[in-house]
């Protein structure tokens, strides 16, 4: 498989798994998120020499994975706060509204607290929403919609160009349909697998 097709294919597979099984795999995904966060921080903190930066990133990544897996509720709070901060910031930008950073931070804290209080529903909804977007981006990156991204020197560029797809009028409808299918499936399967008391 050529390198340009690899990332969209991974996005498609991971997106489909998140879409329908995100709640079941959440602890593992939380540890993965902690690893990625630690890796990025390590690479940002130590830029020279490159090998030392990767070593610091890997060590912080392992620490982040352990902490997110061990402190489950803290991980949910952090992810809820980050998601709320990003969504609120994007909404403010979309509607061309201004807000103080303090307001965004307070909204993020409230979002984190709500994520902990409603964790089962929130986890199912967030993983279904993210999974559906990744399925669409992966399909687009593979050329399923007749608009593959232009080939460039970077193997990641075709996938990175895929977010232009949501500009299509039908893309939001497809995202909503996939999100609802995944979210409802997760809620239904969660009820079916609930242990009897």
Tens-place pLDDT, residues 123-169? 888 888 888 888 888 887 777 776 555 444 444 444 444 444 445 66
| Residue 45 structural domain | 3-189
**Token code pair at residue 20:** 């329908």
- pLDDT value at residue 152: 46
- pLDDT value at residue 184: 94
What does pLDDT average to over the chain?
Answer: 76
Does 194 map to a domain? no
195 secondary structure, DSSP code: P
- pLDDT value at residue 74: 82
Contact 73, 58 (CB under 8 A): no
Does 196 map to a domain? no
- pLDDT value at residue 154: 42
Does 195 map to a domain? no
Q: Which of 27, 85, 36, 29 minimizes the C-alpha distance to 62? A: 36
Task: List CB contacts of 59: < 8 A, sequence separation 6 or more.
Answer: 38, 42
Does 42 map to a domain? yes
Does 16 map to a domain? yes
Residue ranges with strand state E in the chain: none
Our count of domains for the chain comes to 1
Does 74 map to a domain? yes
Ranges of the chain with pLDDT below 50: 1, 3, 150-166, 195-197
């Amino acid at each position: 498989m050529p390198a340009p097709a690899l990332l969209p294919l991974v996005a498609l597979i991971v997106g489909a798994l998140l879409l329908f099984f995100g709640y079941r795999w959440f602890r593992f995904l939380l540890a993965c998120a902690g690893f990625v966060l630690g890796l990025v921080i390590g690479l940002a903190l130590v830029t020279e020499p490159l090998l030392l930066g990767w070593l610091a990133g890997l060590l912080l990544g392992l620490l982040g994975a352990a902490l997110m897996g061990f402190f489950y509720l803290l991980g949910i709070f952090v992810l809820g706060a980050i998601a709320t901060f990003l969504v609120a910031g994007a909404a403010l930008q979309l509607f061309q509204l201004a807000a103080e950073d303090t307001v965004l931070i307070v909204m993020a804290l409230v979002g984190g607290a709500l994520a902990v209080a409603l964790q089962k529903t929130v986890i199912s909804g967030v993983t279904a929403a993210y999974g559906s977007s990744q399925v669409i981006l992966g399909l687009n990156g593979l050329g399923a919609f007749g608009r593959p991204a232009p080939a460039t020197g970077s193997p990641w560029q075709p996938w990175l160009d895929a977010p232009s797809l949501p500009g299509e009028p039908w893309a939001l409808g497809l995202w909503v349909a996939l999100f609802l299918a995944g979210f409802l499936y997760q809620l239904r399967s969660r009820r079916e697998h609930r242990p009897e008391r």
